[in-house]
Amino acid sequence: MKLTNVFSGILVFACLLTGGSALNAETTHKKSLAAHRQAHQQLANVNSRLDMSSVNNAVKEEIQARENGTEVESEERQMIGDLLKEARKHIGKPYRHGMKGPKAFDCSGFSSYVYRQFGYSLSPASRAQFTQGVKVDRKHLKEGDLVFFSSRSSGSNVGHVGIVVSADNSTGAFKFIHASIRGVKIDDCKGYYEGRYIGARRIIQ
């Protein structure tokens, strides 16, 4: 069991040793990772007394992990997997305009509810969500990305949002989970949705 999974304070010390510049840039992301750990009760139990050599070793491990990026990438993958599990738990729940869950949802209420369980604060409006995160090209989609569509009432503007559950980057095809008028379900981006696709945003970076 890695000590770096327990002592988040050590990360601060590690960042100071490496210049501290990464800490401010990743504050929001780190808070979200912490919320993920708490939500899934992954707190570790260790002895309350640690000698200085153990602390030093933990700092070295944290610095090494940050240098190669493997720990952050691994936890991001785990978070996205858990986020999609959370989304799938609500399949079949009804669509209700203005509802933000957990018993019923509208489209942006669903995406904001799912992301909120992992420490991310999304606007309750799909048009505003289209300004959050970073823009993603359709052929670079990955699981967890938000995808946006126009609707019958929105004209050419954003009127609907879903969460990518799988993507074929060689063709641009993808599946997404969303609160449709028929309830929370998974659809392919084809037919009706293909013609109304507007773009995508990545929240977990």
Q: Which residues are catalytic?
A: 107, 160, 178
Between CA 109 and CA 58, with CA 74 as vertex, the angle to 5 degrees is: 120
Tokens 């970076």 belong to: 205
Structure tokens belonging to residue 6: 């327990």
Question: Count of alpha carbons within 13 Å of 192, Cβ hemisphere only?
Answer: 6
Closest CA to 204 of 9, 19, 2, 36: 36
